[in-house]
Amino acid sequence: MLDLIADQGVKIADQGLDSSPLAIRGLTVSYGQKPAVFSVDMTVQPGAMTAIIGPNGAGKSTLLKAALGIVSPLSGQVSVFGRPLDKQRARIAYVPQRASVDWDFPTRVIDVILMGLSRELGLLGRVRARHVSCATECLNRVGMQDFADRQIGQLSGGQQQRVFLARALAQNADLYLLDEPFAGVDAATEKAIIEVLKSLKEAGKTVVVVHHDLATVTDYFDHVFLINTRKVAEGSVAEAFTAETLQSAYGGRLATAQIDQISRALG
Amino acid sequence: MSGEEFVPLSLTPLLIGTFAAIACALPGNFLVLRKQALIGDAISHVVLPGIVVAFLLTGAISTWPMMLGAAGAAILAVVLIEAIRRLGQIEPGAAMGVVFTTMFAAGVLLLEQTDTSTVHLDVEHALYGNLESLIWLDATGWSSLWDLEALAGLPPELSRIGLTLIGVILFTWLFWRPLKISTFDEGFARTIGIRTGVLGMALVITAAIAAVAAFDAVGSIIVIAMFICPPAAARMMTNRLETQIVWSVVFAIISAVAGYVLAGYGPLWLGGADAVSAAGMIATMSGLILALTAKFGPCRARVGVQNSS
């Protein structure tokens, strides 16, 4: 036991816990009797794109929400760039699941983007021309500049997802956390989103994505984090995204054909 | 109608009715969008046992103990609703329904069982209020508005609901941005540091204060109607929250003024003899406006439905 603790201590130091964009230790979250996330450690690598992968109900979204303080964990610590979450809110941008909000809400696309500037605007700060032009620029980056004045309910699913991404861009953060941004979007939107995420990475930002499509993991991401309530594997795609770890995370739920396909893709 | 008649008899009830309508409609906008509109219903019912208990404790109709009793009951109800929702793991609507019916029933029982017949405190007053009686006898005409002596004789309900309205407006103005963001996307709101739990509670407490002040002046019928009807009608007029707020205030004013006038004179125009309850007519007007906007409002269709599955 002592060995184990010492071992972990070394590992944490090696991974640079102090400066990691997102470091999670011993996180346990429970909605009812059964834990949704159990004693999870995670260390996100800076300047990379990390996919959180696991079967349905494995606690992927819950892990993200607990890391952001949206749900309260039973136990565990979260640090963001080496400091407590509450001191680092300005450096984080979060893109929730599209279905988590009511798109019938009476507001326009541009107003949603401006929500990303609300820390800068404060309680009563006036929205000035430079804020609007910043928001418009963010809409530009996701190819939605023509929709600024639309009511958000008039958008397609893919367009809604892009609006959420544009709001995160407006936050001008260092760490981007996205919950299933590719779920139920059209191919053009998926392409647009991945282009934006790659440009963020090139600008030195850290991107963490809850992802469900195993076929695109190797194309899109540098690192993976496999979870099924407990952590299954963590590391670079080459090292942690293997037939064995997938089998272990998904159990019998992943068809052998899928695993073969992934193994072939991995070479 | 001349100023000599209008100012003492109609001006103050009109103002009180209008202020009460606006004070409830403003927070109602957020409650409706948060699908918490029933909380207005709940609060306006649970204030009854609070008021009765305050009366039993103090033995007199004095405003501040009663308002405190009402506010205490409202807060107890909010806590109970939250507790039942969490412990029972049921939807908030069901928890609200259970709490407010039980507390209102307890209030009615208390009223029946205690000697409150000598004072102006009964179920009818609780429901319809007493808007018509809030007259300004010291006034002699429009000039009384500049007469300090006459102004001192204004019904105290007017200043209470006026102050409440100012408080509600200040709350809405000051917390406009966090209210809007957390109503639309609570998860995102938390990540940017908005304390959504505290803010949600503050919204409900603001609504509770508005409900208690309005209840004091005009009864619970108006409260229930104004939390829901003007905001819901306003939603069908626009796709922008800012504009929706303005419409809801316009509808609240129209309901209050038209309701008051129709209640006082409508039956006479129809050849009847007596006036009808102003509070009832105001609530009816708001329902009528809601029906009209539901049929003819430009933004009544849920255009996004096909995409949001």
Q: How many residues does chain A have?
A: 267
What backbone phi and psi angles, to 5 degrees, belong to A136? -65, -40
Which tens digit of pLDDT belongs to each residue from B119-160? 555 556 666 667 878 888 888 888 888 888 888 888 888 988
Selected residue of A151, A167, A171 to mutate for chain B interface (largest B Cβ count, 10 A): A151
Place of tokens 């309910």: A153
pLDDT in tens, A215-250: 999 999 999 999 999 999 999 999 999 888 888 888
**pLDDT for A2:** 42
What is the C-alpha separation between B76 and B50, in angstroms, rounded?
Answer: 10
How far is A40 from chain B, CA to nearest CA, in Å? Answer: 21
Q: What distance in Å separates the CA atoms of residue A71 and residue A64, rounded to the nearest whole number?
A: 9
CB contact under 8 A, B181 and A118: yes
The distance of B109 to chain A (nearest Cα, Å) reads 38
For chains A and B, what is the number of CB pairs under 8 angstroms? 99
Whole-prediction pTM value?
0.87
Q: Where does the pLDDT of residue A3 fall: very low under 50, low under 70, confident under 90, or very high at 90 and above?
A: very low
Chain B's closest residue to A121, CA to CA, is: B177
Question: Pick from B135, B170, B138: which is nearest to B152 by CA?
Answer: B138
d(CA A209, CA A221): 9
Which chain A residue shows the shortest CA-CA distance from B171? A123
- Residue A265, min C-alpha distance to chain B (Å): 33
User: Chain A: residue nearest B179 by CA?
Assistant: A123
SS3 B54: helix
Q: In this predicted model, what pLDDT tens digit does every residue of A166-184 receive, in sequence order?
A: 999 999 999 999 999 999 8
pLDDT-derived band of residue B301, with 50, 70 and 90 as boundaries? low
Type of residue at A206: T
Cβ contact (<8 Å) for A101 and B193? Answer: no
Distance CA A241, CA A233 (A): 8
For residue B81, give every residue at least 6 positions away whose Cβ sits within 8 Å of its Cβ, in sequence order, or none: B39, B42, B92, B95, B96, B99
Whether residue A96 and residue B188 make contact (CB cut-off 8 A), yes or no, is yes
For β-strands A75-80 and A83-84, DSSP reports them as antiparallel
Contact A86 B235 (CB under 8 A): no
Mean pLDDT of chain B: 85
Q: What is d(CA A144, CA A159) in angstroms, rounded to the nearest whole number? A: 7
Are residues A104 and B304, on separate chains, in Cβ contact within 8 Å? yes
Tokens of B257: 């003024």
Confirm if B185 and A163 have CB atoms less than 8 A apart: no
**pLDDT exceeds cutoff 70 at A5:** no
For residue A266, the model assigns a pLDDT of: 64
Question: A224: part of which helix (H) or strand (E)?
Answer: strand A223-228
Angle in degrees, 0-180, between the axes of helices B12-33 and B156-174, rounded to the nearest 10:
30
ipTM of the modeled complex: 0.88
Whether B170 and chain A come into contact, CB under 8 Å, resolves to no
Measured between beta carbons, the chain B residues lying within 8 angstroms of A99 are 308
Residue A169's nearest CA partner among A107, A93, A115, A236 is: A93
A76: helix, strand or coil: strand
Interface contact B33, partner A, CB < 8 A: yes
Tell me if chain A has a CB within 8 Å of the CB of B300. Answer: no
Record: contact B240-A157, CB cut-off 8 A: no
Please give the average per-residue pLDDT across B242-249, as a whole number. Answer: 96
Number of neighbours of residue B208 by Cβ within 10 angstroms? 25
**A239: distance to nearest CA of chain B, Å?**
32
Q: For residue A236, what are the β-bridge partners?
A: A223
Q: Which among B191, B241, B307 has the least Cβ separation from residue A156?
A: B307
- Determine, for residues A103 and B181 on separate chains, whether the beta-carbon distance falls below 8 Å: no
Asked if residue A208 lies in contact with residue A155, where contact means CB atoms within 8 angstroms, the answer is no
Binned at pLDDT 50, 70 and 90, residue A18 comes out as low
Cβ within 8 Å, pair B185-A115: yes
Interface contact B235-A106, CB threshold 8 A: yes
**Per the structure block, which two tokens stand in for B162?**
């006026």
Q: Could you write out the DSSP letters of every residue in A207-257?
A: EEEE---GGGHHHH-SEEEEEESEEEEEEEHHHHSSHHHHHHHHGGGS-HH
pLDDT tens, position by position, B42-79: 887 887 788 888 888 887 767 778 778 888 888 888 88
CB A267 within 8 Å of CB A243: no
Establish if B174 touches chain A: CB-CB under 8 angstroms: yes
